[in-house]
Amino acid sequence: MLIETKDLKKHFQIGRKQTLHAVDGVSLQIEENEILGLVGESGSGKSTFGKALIGLHSRTSGTTTYNGQLLPAKFTAADHLQYSKELQMIFQDPYSSLNPRMTVLDIVGEGLLIQGQTKRSEVKDQVALWLEKVGLNADHMSRYPHEFSGGQRQRIGIARAMIIQPRFVVCDEPISALDVSVQAQVVNLLEQLKQDLGLTLLFIAHDLSMVRYVSDRMAVMYLGSLVESGPADDVFFNPQHPYTQLLIEANPEPDPETERHHKYVPIIGEITSPINLGAGCRFADRCPKVMSHCRSVTPKTTVVAAKHTVNCHLFE
Ligand code: SF4
């Protein structure tokens, strides 16, 4: 196993009395050379979890182990420098994640210069190489971000993360700001890089069919907690948790022919506020199968099939 969290929590204090439970006790393992897809509605804590995993957010409690080493709860500047060689992130919005005043050469080459292990004269060659690898060309390095399309900017973001040759990359909704026609290209590029470089990826997204396509395993998050995880096809075709079932029902089909016969069942209500949460199942207010004790007793993790777990009282 490459990375593991145990009961990871990330809370934010709001004023003196309120606590926002963004991530509230997530235990997860990611194997080497695996793509784990993490899904859930906006506000479920996916991005916060991804950032806490690689030290971009401090942890409130719990542990993260990377390659057998316990990562610090709060990274210092030296920790960031040390671990950024191996732990990288590709951000959601290719428009705001690239500095508009920097050229592509400076953006993509910055990480190498910070690491200090590549001579300045060699950085240009490395940037040219990586621009080619992500489907751009070396001539693009003197241009600025505004001269590119959304899909091209995301490729620049991917080159920036990959040039360091990391071992683990958090891809935080890397396709949601892109046109549908470009999404598959970027996903295929990530898969290719995973195979070529032996990468391990956490792929965060809300498009379940795309996550199933790209991932080996899938985990579903609701209001800061994991509700289901397992092999991607098992979770997608045989979802067990009421939330996962509704999420998949509400997910548009990529195939127009299947889409015509798809019966939408929207998830009722909105995700509850993650402020000052108490005991009980977080999904109780929206669950069509809610029982009386769901509101007071937090469900345990139950194994329902090989490597497939669910957090719901229906399975205990
Ligand atoms: Fe629904 Fe209860 Fe299961 Fe929560 S624990 S998902 S409320 S049945």
- Ligand 1 centroid, distance to 252 Cα (angstroms): 24
Q: Measure CA 315 to chain center.
A: 27
The structure tokens 């669910």 sit at 310
With respect to residue 268, please indicate whether it lies within any of the assigned structural domains: no
* Residue 119 Cβ contacting ligand 1 at under 6 Å: no
Q: Which atom of ligand 1 is nearest to the CA of 291?
A: 2
Question: What is the C-alpha R_g of the chain?
Answer: 20
How much is the pLDDT for 120? Answer: 84
The closest alpha carbon to 96, from 159, 161, 169, 177, belongs to 177
- Ligand 1 pocket, residue 313 CB under 6 Å: yes
Is residue 278, in this structure, part of any structural domain at all?
no
- pLDDT for the residue numbered 103: 96
**Cα-to-centroid distance, 224 and ligand 1 (Å):** 15
Q: Give the nearest ligand 1 atom to 281 CA.
A: 4
Residue 259 lies in a domain: no
Q: Let me know if residue 305 belongs to a domain.
A: no
pTM: 0.92
Q: 201 lies in a domain?
A: yes
- Ligand 1 proximity of 291 Cβ (cutoff 6 Å): yes
Return the amino acid letter for 223: L
pLDDT of residue 275: 85
Residue 261 lies in a domain: no
pLDDT tens digits, residue range 172-220?
Answer: 999 888 888 888 888 999 999 999 999 999 999 988 888 999 999 999 9
> How many angstroms does the Cα of residue 187 sit away from the middle of ligand 1?
33
Sheet containing 61-66, strands listed edge to edge, beginning at the edge strand earlier in sequence: 18-30, 3-14, 61-66, 69-70
**Is 15 in a helix, a strand, or coil?**
coil
Residue 267 belongs to a domain = no
Ligand 1 atom nearest residue 227's Cα: 6
Angle ∠(76,102,199) on CA atoms, nearest 5: 55
Looking at every residue in the chain, the average pLDDT score rounds to: 91
Domain contains 102: no
Based on the structure, what is the number of domains in the chain? Answer: 1
What ligand 1 atom has the least distance to the C-alpha of 288?
A: 1
Structural domain range at position 59: 3-86+166-244
- pLDDT, position 252: 61
Give pLDDT tens digits for 122-175.
999 999 999 999 999 999 999 999 999 999 999 999 999 999 999 999 999 998
Domain at 222, CATH number: 3.40.50.300
